[in-house]
Amino acid sequence: DIQMTQSPSSLSASVGDRVTITCRASQSISSYLNWYQQKPGKAPELFIYAASSLQSGVPSGFSGSGSGTDFTLTISSLQPEDFATYYCQQSYSIPYTFGQGTKLEI
């Protein structure tokens, strides 16, 4: 299985901050990397697919980059609604695997 490692596991930030979350794969996954946002009690929502493509309806302040083994999710200016847990997911090979999550807290 491809292991996905996110860092940090948790992050405290303020409204207006720029934050970056990283995700590292245990082997090259090209651009087969997706990011999800999950709020408490809710299902995850797709935010970024194919490493850098913004899902429809996602604010433009979100961006993704990377290829191979190293990826980043960047939020340019944190808004109150952005405080949530973010997961990366490799979609290169079965079994699809997720990072352990990054909890973004105020």
Partner 1 sequence: QLQLQESGPGLVKPLETLSLTCSVSGGSIISSGYYWDWIRQPPGKGLQWIGTIYHDGSIYYNPSLKSRVIISVDTSRNQFSLKMNSVTAADTAVYSCARRERYYNWFDPWGQGTLVSVSS
Residues in touch with partner 1 (CB under 8 A): 1, 32, 34, 36, 42-46, 49-50, 55, 87, 89, 91-92, 94-101
Q: How many residues in the chain?
A: 106
Which residue blocks in 1-106 are alpha helix, DSSP H?
none
Smallest distance from partner 1 to CB 73, Å = 14
Residue among 83 and 96 whose Cβ is closer to partner 1:
96
For residue 77, the SS3 value is coil
For residue 82, the SS3 value is helix
Smallest distance from partner 1 to CB 5, Å = 11
Smallest distance from partner 1 to CB 14, Å = 26
Task: Tokens 């948790």: give the residue.
Answer: 10
